[in-house]
Amino acid sequence: MRVAEISLPAIRHNVARIRELTGGAVIVVVKADGYGHGARAAAAAALEAGATMVATADLEEALALREAGIGAPILCWLHGVRVDFSEAVAAGIEIGISHAQQLEHLAAAATRLGRTAVVQLKVDTGLSRNGAAPEEWAPLFARAAELEAAGAIRVRGVFSHLANAGDAHDRAQAARFDEAIAALRAVGIEPELIHLAASAATLTLPHLHYNAVRVGVAAYGLSPFADKTSAQLGLVPAMTLRSEIVALRAVPAGTGVSYGYNHVCETATTLALVPMGYADGMPRALNGAGAWVTIAGEHRPIVGRIGMDQFIVDVGPIAGRIDLGEPVVLFGDPERGHPPVEIWAGLMRTINYEIIVGIGPRVRRIPVDAEPSVAAVDAPATAVGAPAAAGDAA
Ligand SMILES: *Cc1c(COP(=O)(O)O)cnc(C)c1O
């Protein structure tokens, strides 16, 4: 009764679109369970569409993908201090390295196993987050060259991440990135993959594409920008969050709805019960804020407080043509008349990323290789709600 339908054709379309835009290698980020879409299905669809490799933040996620049968190159870059890289080396996972201690741990694991670990060096060019700081580059790169000569590691790539703080900052970060690449070449390392751009720069800043891009949200069909929709970017949202009506009740005017009665029906109407709540990632604060769902091709308002497991929709005007079991779309592709996820993000003063990764574990992810199963409406929805803040994504 709680489903996130994942359109594999949409993911393939989006990855193909990104390949078209960039012409270089495309690394698709499937961290946080594929941004809530299901990492395995997302990775497989991305690779089918020609992605060069997939990436996660954590090693555990990378290993799970390998165990689930993803044989393509997998990169991960965020490591705990007690991480054991042995399994990673044995499984052929590429490791993003941000500092000397990680490099030594990885090389030691490779030496123990008699294998060569594949490394991508992560440099900080101004995000002030994960990645080696410029003053660490010289010793880190020299040591990497030494370990490469000894056969313990192979440096396959170098990468950095943008702060999306505006054009001047982007250019400054790119200049620092160029210095890192030059420093790497100076110690005799020629990286095969050089990547800076995530979704935002991939979609709009071709001068930052280098020879690879690293995209997350765009692969799932969502816009990283507050002022551009998926459709305007040529992307198709892959997730349709849906449920069904499990109870219908005609009520008189004056009926209070849900905890605290913050909604009281002004007229006689019909209320529909939908079994999805804040345990499923539906923000509780959405109640009363103007969020709506699509039922039988109509936009109907969510009324009353959202519970842990369920919420109420006023279906008065369409009560005569719906029945128990009627599909309810919470968000999906606005081109199909479904509410865009950006309505929730806007009402919650957050970004679409946070909503999709927050969809809870009770919601069954169902990958579909056809069009979404919930019937489209005739007219596309008009944009409703405030857009999300851009550029402060993942
Ligand atoms: C999450 C992440 C990405 C993907 O970002 P999007 O904005 O979703 O494309 C790329 N690179 C790094 C280092 C990340 O952490």
Q: Does residue 356 contact residue 220 with C-beta atoms inside 8 Å?
A: yes
pLDDT at 372: 58
- The minimum-distance atom of ligand 1 relative to the CA of 218 is 9
Whether residue 42 has its Cβ less than 6 Å from ligand 1 = no
- The minimum-distance atom of ligand 1 relative to the CA of 198 is 9
- Helix pair angle (39-48, 59-67), 10° resolution: 70
Q: CB neighbours (10 Å) of residue 371?
A: 13
pTM: 0.94
Residue 308 annotated in ligand binding = yes
Half-sphere exposure of 88 (CA within 13 A, CB side): 32
Say how far apart CA 237 and CA 231 lie, in whole Å.
Answer: 9
Protein residue with its CA nearest to atom 1 in ligand 1 = 394
Q: Does residue 68 contact residue 42 with C-beta atoms inside 8 Å?
A: no
Whether residue 216 has its Cβ less than 6 Å from ligand 1 = yes
How is residue 187 written in tokens? 């110690």
pLDDT at 287: 83
Cα 147 to chain centroid, rounded: 34
Protein residue with its CA nearest to atom 10 in ligand 1 = 198
Whether residue 391 has its Cβ less than 6 Å from ligand 1 = no
- The minimum-distance atom of ligand 1 relative to the CA of 77 is 13
Whether residue 217 has its Cβ less than 6 Å from ligand 1 = yes
Say how far apart CA 194 and CA 176 lie, in whole Å.
Answer: 13
Q: Does residue 165 contact residue 392 with C-beta atoms inside 8 Å?
A: no
Say how far apart CA 367 and CA 189 lie, in whole Å.
Answer: 41
Could you tell me the domains of the chain? Answer: 8-220 (3.20.20.10), 239-368 (2.40.37.10)
Partner residues linked to 27 by β-bridges: 53, 214
Whether residue 164 has its Cβ less than 6 Å from ligand 1 = no
Whether residue 127 has its Cβ less than 6 Å from ligand 1 = no
If one residue of 95, 129, 160, 161 were mutated to test the ligand 1 pocket, choosing by the most ligand atoms within 8 A of its CB, it would be 161
CA triple 365-367-369, angle to 5 deg? 160
Whether residue 224 has its Cβ less than 6 Å from ligand 1 = yes
Protein residue with its CA nearest to atom 7 in ligand 1 = 199
Whether residue 122 has its Cβ less than 6 Å from ligand 1 = no
If one residue of 22, 26, 29, 235 were mutated to test the ligand 1 pocket, choosing by the most ligand atoms within 8 A of its CB, it would be 29
Reported residue count of the chain is 394
Centre of ligand 1 to C-alpha 40, Å, is: 18
Residues known to be catalytic: 31, 259
Centre of ligand 1 to C-alpha 30, Å, is: 9
3-state secondary structure the chain: CCEEEEEHHHHHHHHHHHHHHHCCEEEEECHHHHHCCCHHHHHHHHHHCCCCEEEECCHHHHHHHHHCCCCCCEEECCCCCCCCCHHHHHCCCEEEECCHHHHHHHHHHHHHHCCCEEEEEEECCCCCCCCECHHHHHHHHHHHHHHHHCCCEEEEEEECCCCCCCHHHHHHHHHHHHHHHHHHHHCCCCCCEEECCCHHHHHHCHHHCCCEEEECHHHHCCCCCCCCCCHHHCCCCCEEEEEECCEEEEECCCCEECHHHCEECCCCEEEEEECCCHHHCCCHHHCCCCCEEEECCEEEEEECCCCCCCEEEECHHHHHHCCCCCEEEEECCHHHCCCCHHHHHHHCCCCHHHHHHCCCCCCEEEEECCCCCCCCCCCCCCCCCCCCCCCCCC
Centre of ligand 1 to C-alpha 216, Å, is: 6
Ranges under pLDDT 50 in the chain: 376-392
392 CB contacts (<8 Å, ≥6 apart)? 164, 351
